[in-house]
Structure 1
């Protein structure tokens, strides 16, 4: 447990991507089985243990500490696991007990515990672990690592450890389970590459490079196909040897939320596409917005009514595998032709083909990008006709050219401490705009943002919050925000919809802080009417999907 705890500590304090990869690769080389496999699963989010609710941890903590003192401590630290790990009174164990507390032993005890045993088990382990290991344990049981490491980064660390391509790890990933004994054995050269019992596995996706100034100048438009970039999520749909799976672009299995899609698959192969809600072009019904798709995402099960209210379909982009075999080495023109024939014979309500956009010059396609024919279009995709399908983001074969983001000026209203390396800073910010209520001009919250700013800008925002707090609501701070005193933020966001969940009546998609506007007074910030005017006509209301954070 100590080695795992040290790994988490160092990952939290290490901002550089490559340094994080080296830390994980070194740990995987030196940690024993099954500890390293469980550590891998914990960091990648594939560890299946009964999570411990924060309420239980608070109850255990309040058995030993004054509630007011604990609340003050929690408010100061900003992270529940870190707070408990610091203030929990250590009980000195004997040497035999300490020797038992490997990560594998802890996981085994958690997986073996009955529902009625969890409380006592958690208390016992908190007593026997020191501060650092206690923190790692709490992160483990709450399922909230928040250490700045994505599943993709973990897979790259595995690839570096074994000297293999990261795409090989991606291909194996969904066919293996913790503690990944066969995977580590192969990476260390002790055995052959693991054989997968499930053929419908995820394959690393091909990514596009954002268009920058000058990228297209020396390229011939005739060498590229253009498609619309749709406002859904990238998916990979696999149907091989009777096994059907639907994966997100990061490789997460989202099959359970879309049984209607899987039931409709009557072709064999693996296609790359966009998951959307509404109607396909083949049924002449309008494609709906991302907020509608949000009603289906992140669900373990869906009701028949949800499926009927938010009918999903896949808009095909590419064909990776067909009944004939691996299509990826073929040029895009041949893959698309094969995909076209496959989709033509598929269910028209569940599948269609991404339409090509006709153009003859970069200027012409730029004009189409700026003013697309449908509000759910985010921009343009450019793909070389002769490009093979290759994992990763190689510059040149594929480009994405997005519309300019929406921008507003808003006023900082509330702030909350961050997590991990940001736990000492106020870094989660709620912002609002002006509207009239009962004849008075008031600020109404319209969204939250916790990225987009530099470390230097974070220092400025944190200082303002500390010096201008007017009320406290648990970990949340309300800051001074009047017409003549406050902090104005320029907010960029990708889309906006009506919302019945938010007091303002709007929900933003992917809001971020673009600039700190010290040159503006709060009275100069935008109004709610301005945001309402940005909502595309005919947009379906977002009922219960929170897009503001």
Structure 2
């Protein structure tokens, strides 16, 4: 656990991508099997350990530590696992507990058995190792590592030994299982594992942002344009009788959308946008969000929010790999392919335009509110994994802005665990200051480190009430919030849900009474129905 604990600490307190990759590659190269395989599974979300719930943790620590001392400590630290790791009595001597033994011991245990075993181990570990054990056992690592980043680290680890590329690793990923012994052997120069997965994921091609100022550098005649839909990017693969829907990062989400899987009566792989579509009308993202993560959606849910695929590209078809063809050739193949498919699968239409001014006019007045902007793709571009600069661009609509009042501050995680960095903001439900403030969203990005420190000081000096790691605040500070979209939401008291909110500016100069009213958001909502 010592090496794994060290890795988690480095990852939690390291912000740079390259530094995280270096720590991951170093750990994977130096650690033995099966420890490194289980660490990889934990980091990529493929380890279903989660054996201990908060109530069991509280009961466990209550047997070793004074309850009042623990309550005060938890209020200060703000993270349950971190509080327990710090407050647990120090052992007279420590052991180096193999990560593989931890996983293989806990997996078959019931939750009460696992809690007793974890308490026994905590009595023999140092504070960093106790934290690593608790994070592993609860499934709450949160160290800023995506599954894609971990796979990139694997490729970097094996690069000097002639190992596979990240694209080769991703094509096999879904046919492999922890602790990935065959995968590590391949990376270190061994034989390629037998392809265990039918209908594999192919690494997707990504676009780069473009602004109004960038467009004059590009020739309009070199590009085609299409709408950028507000859904989720997916890859629909149907091969050898196996049908799968993957997210852009390669996660298998087929179980959440069996109605779309049913419509995939083809032999090939399509790249596109997963949407909720009722007839010709694309529903707001909020309707799609209701189905995300649902392992077994009900018939009622599928009838009310039917899934559809709006295809952008075609990767393979009837046994032929088409990724090396130019975009125009692939587009022709795509249109022929979807013409004979279920109506739930169609091709995203291309937009005719003569110059950037004409396209800007289309972008400014899209036919549906769920459109986020436009995509630009070179006529001659092959389908390349990753984010090559030049072939594909996304020209998004300008972010919307609203001035809101900070209402709650919550402690962050990892390197932000000592700061209040997650903020709930609100709008006036009528004329200020007599009207109530209604929460409309939460943001934890958009500010610099210096601004974070100043926000943290504001939270500490303007607290009204404390609720564990959360503090309610005096309504005095206004922040300018940028967001990408807006949907109706019955789960929120305000009736609205923002897409990708972030703090774009802190208005230290603006009185709270001058923040915006809720009606300014309600007027921007898409029509119902």
Q: What TM-score range do you get, normalising by the shorter chain?
A: over 0.9
SS of alignment partner, residue 250 of structure 1: coil
Aligned to 2:32: 32
Counterpart Cα distance in 2 of 1:136 and 1:123: 13
Q: Unaligned stretches of 5+ in structure 1? A: 541-549
* Distance across 2 between alignment mates of 1:388 and 1:325: 15
Q: Which residue of 2 aligns with 1:424?
A: 418
Q: Distance in 1 between matches of 2:212 and 2:339?
A: 38
Q: In 1, Cα distance between the equivalents of 2:115 and 2:499? A: 39
CA distance in 2, matches of 1:215, 1:195: 46
**1:102 alignment partner, one of 98, 108, 130:** 98
Q: For the residues of structure 1 that align with 2:212 and 2:154, how far apart are their CA atoms?
A: 35
Q: How far off is 1:439 after superposition?
A: 10
Q: Are the equivalent residues in 1 in contact too, given 2:224–2:376 (CA < 8 A)?
A: yes
Give distance in 1, aligned partners of 2:217 and 2:489.
Answer: 45
Task: Quote the residue 1:546 is aligned against.
Answer: none
Structure 1 residues 437 and 126, CA gap change in structure 2 (3 angstroms): farther
Q: Specify the alignment match of 1:187 in structure 2.
A: 187
Cα distance change of structure 1 residues 223 and 468 upon mapping to structure 2, 3 Å threshold: same
Q: 1:226 to 1:438 in 2, by over 3 A?
A: closer
Q: What displacement does 1:161 show?
A: 0.3
CA distance in 2, matches of 1:407, 1:228: 22
* Partner residue in 2 for 1:503: 493
The corresponding residue for 1:127 is: 123
Q: Confirm or deny that 1:351 pairs with 2:345.
A: yes
1:85-110: CA deviation from partner (whole Å, max 9, x where unpaired): 011123446x8xx36x2000111101
Contact map agreement 1:50 1:110 (CA 8 A) in 2 = no
Native 8 Å contact 1:332 1:384 kept in 2:
yes
Structure 2 distance, partners of 1:446, 1:151, is 31
| Distance in structure 1 (CA, Å) of the matches to 2:113 and 2:18 | 41
- Show the counterpart of 1:291: 286
The CA deviation at 1:505 is: 1.7
Change beyond 3 A, Cα 1:133–1:439: closer
Q: Does 1:389 align with 2:383?
A: yes
What's the CA shift for 1:393? 1.0
Aligned to 1:545: none
Q: What is the DSSP-based 3-state SS (H/G/I as helix, E as strand, rest coil) of the residue aligned with 2:465? A: strand
Which residue is equivalent to 2:114? 118
Q: 1:134-533 counterparts in 2 under 5 A?
A: 134-163=130-159, 164-189=164-189, 191-279=190-278, 283=279, 285-348=280-343, 350-436=344-430, 440-481=434-475, 486-533=476-523
Q: How does 1:16-95 map to 2 (within 5 A)?
A: 16-92=16-92
Distance 2:352 2:51 in 1: 52
**Take 2:91 and 2:218, find their aligned partners in 1: how far apart are those partners?**
68
Q: Take 1:526 and 1:23, find their aligned partners in 2: how far apart are those partners?
A: 45
Classify 1:115/1:147 alpha carbon distance in 2 versus 1 (closer, same or farther; 3 Å): closer
Q: More deviation in 14-23 or 61-70?
A: 61-70
CA shift at 1:50, angstroms?
Answer: 4.2
1:199 deviates by 2.6
TM-score (normalised: structure 2): 0.96
Q: Distance in 2 between matches of 1:321 and 1:508?
A: 36
For residue 373 of structure 1, report the CA deviation from its aligned partner: 1.2
Aligned-pair Cα RMSD in Å: 1.6
Structure 1 residue 129, shift from structure 2 partner: 2.1
Q: CA deviation at 1:120?
A: 1.7
Deviations 1:45-75 (A, max 9, x none): 1112243211211111122223222121111
Moved more, 468-477 or 175-184: 468-477
Counterpart-to-counterpart distance in 2, 1:493 and 1:242: 42
- Maintained 8 Å contact 2:50/2:136: no
Deviation of 1:150 (Å): 1.4
Q: Given the two structures, how large is their TM-score scaled by the length of structure 1?
A: 0.93
> Contact conserved, 2:369 with 2:526, CA < 8 A, in 1?
yes
1:428–1:450: 8 Å Cα contact kept in structure 2? yes
Flag the 1:50–1:11 CA change in 2: closer, same or farther, 3 A.
Answer: closer
Alpha carbons 2:245, 2:254 under 8 Å: kept: yes
| Alpha-carbon separation, structure 2, partners of 1:114 and 1:54 | 15
For 1:80 and 1:42, locate their aligned partners in 2 and report how far apart those are by CA, in whole Å. Answer: 19
Q: Deviations over 1:214-258 (max 9, x none)?
A: 433233212211100001000001111111111001111101101
Aligned residues: 525
SS of residue paired to 1:112: coil
CA distance in 1 between counterparts of 2:350 and 2:15 reads 41
1:114 CA drift (Å): 3.5
1:367, CA displacement in angstroms? 1.5
Q: CA deviation at 1:128?
A: 2.4
